[in-house]
Structure 1
Amino acid sequence: MTDFAQHLQAVHERMAAAARNAGRDPHSVALLAVSKTFPAEDVRAAHAAGQRAFGENYVQESVDKIEALDDLRASLEWHFIGPLQSNKTRLVAERFDWVHSVDRLKIAERLSAQRPAGMAPLNVCLQVNVSGEASKSGVTTQEAPEVARAIAALPRLRLRGLMSIPEPQDTLEAQRAPHRELRALFDALNAQGFALDTLSMGMSADLEAAVLEGATIVRVGTAIFGARDYAH
């Protein structure tokens, strides 16, 4: 078994244990392997070990990686999960399957206008700043219904759900609190008539808390690829 296969198995075992503790089917939670800063060769190796969905944060790096792995395109699913500037939306609209980090209506409008007509609708999540950190992107929980309604009306997009990156916490209960808040917003929006099916929350350090609170996608990088060297 390769290192990537071992790491993926360990993460899936953590996810499954958390799901069982929550009384959930382990198959109700999907793993997004966050490959930002890691080379295309590592994505290829993780793909060979069975992983199909990969998350990227940096537009030009991800475009280069997608092009380098074009031979695997039919069996890869690319998710953009980082901050997205207006002048980079076309590259993302043309190459990605998902965008988790839609943090304002303007970005959604540009993605909608720039999504090629021959492609399937772009799956998007509305990013919510549940911790209220000034350094974090995302709408407030109060703003979310209005922005979500506007995004849902745009062509070439499919609003799938909500995403958050809460402030790191040391205990399981403290980790669960912001995820619980996002789940409550998710349930409230669905009660208002939205058809959301995705809660993108939880990373290497807090995936158990996220799964316990209803995550359907966890975004895990370090536990799969190792520590990042941002100098490169």
Structure 2
Amino acid sequence: MSSIKQNIEQVISQIGLAAEKCGRPVDSVQLLAVSKTKPIAAIEEAIAAGQRAFGENYVQEGVEKIQHFSDSENAAALSWHFIGPIQSNKTRPIAEHFDWVHSVDRAKIARRLSEQRPADMAPLNVLLQVNTSGEATKSGLAFAELAALADEVAAMPNLVLRGLMSIPEKADDYDSQLAAFQSLADAMQTLKTLHPQMDTLSMGMSGDLDAAVAAGSTIVRIGTAIFGARDYGEKTSQ
């Protein structure tokens, strides 16, 4: 069985090859290790292997992990990303502990995050989640709603609008994957004319990484390929 360190090295190699194929710098794509449901020991292994950015889906679990590592020697270098659906009654702990939020899709959520961000913390980096495939069961806003929400979020004092995120409908063929990601990249380019600070596209997981990088992803979210299969147990939307 391969170690977490070996898995990270393999994923980074895959990212590098994908970037080289489309003429992008290898360091233009960041690996976000999705550590949801994984124990502290697994994250410690990943940190020891050089990983610094971690993604969490469950608020309580994520906050506990952030607090655990807050006094570690690598604390200042670690970056914590909330990537799950956001309930309005869970915004405060997200605002108080995370560095990034990838899943903002409503003005109400954005306002609460801005209002609840502590004054002594840097502004919260925000990505707007877009439902690129229009699936009724999937979170995210429609392309038609994107410009208005981007304007609202960009004006909020304790947030920084950094870019977009999507979880496209699963597709096994490269061309379909690329088309879904390209639609998000095109939307980003349009928004950048009004919001030039936008520089981040969070898209791509293990099965569609190559297409995501080709379309311009700057953050790929990888979990199982690093940590192994997840044990959800009794986890719900904490």
| 1:140 equivalent in structure 2 | 142
Q: Say if 2:130 is the partner of 1:128.
A: yes
Matches of 1:38 and 1:218, distance apart in 2: 18
Matches of 1:225 and 1:65, distance apart in 2: 16
* Residue type of the alignment partner of 1:25: P
Give the RMSD, CA atoms, in angstroms.
1.1
| 1:151 equivalent in structure 2 | 153
SS of 2:32's equivalent? strand
Q: Say if 2:179 is the partner of 1:177.
A: yes
Q: Does the 8 A contact of 1:40 with 1:69 survive in 2?
A: no
Cα distance, 1:193 vs. partner? Answer: 4.2
Matches of 1:83 and 1:193, distance apart in 2: 24
* Residue type of the alignment partner of 1:210: A
- TM-score (normalised: structure 2): 0.94
SS of 2:112's equivalent? helix
Cα distance, 1:230 vs. partner? Answer: 1.4
Q: Say if 2:43 is the partner of 1:39.
A: no
User: What does residue range 1-232 of structure 1 map to in structure 2 within 5 Å?
Assistant: 3-72=3-72, 73-231=75-233
Stretch moving more, 184-193 or 159-168: 184-193
Matches of 1:230 and 1:12, distance apart in 2: 26
Matches of 1:124 and 1:206, distance apart in 2: 23
SS of 2:127's equivalent? strand
Matches of 2:8 and 2:185, distance apart in 1: 26
SS of 1:162's equivalent? strand
Output one character per residue of 1:86-142: Cα deviation in whole Å (capped at 9) or x when no partner. Answer: 111000000000000001111110000000000001000000100100011111111
Matches of 2:29 and 2:223, distance apart in 1: 16
Output one character per residue of 1:38-84: Cα deviation in whole Å (capped at 9) or x when no partner. Answer: 01111111000000000000001111212222223222110000001
The percent of aligned pairs where both chains have the same amino acid is 58
Output one character per residue of 1:137-162: Cα deviation in whole Å (capped at 9) or x when no partner. Answer: 11111110110010000011100000
Matches of 2:10 and 2:160, distance apart in 1: 32
Matches of 1:227 and 1:173, distance apart in 2: 27
Cα distance, 1:191 vs. partner? Answer: 2.3
Q: Does the 8 A contact of 1:44 with 1:69 survive in 2?
A: no
Cα distance, 1:14 vs. partner? Answer: 0.7
Number of residues paired by the alignment?
A: 231
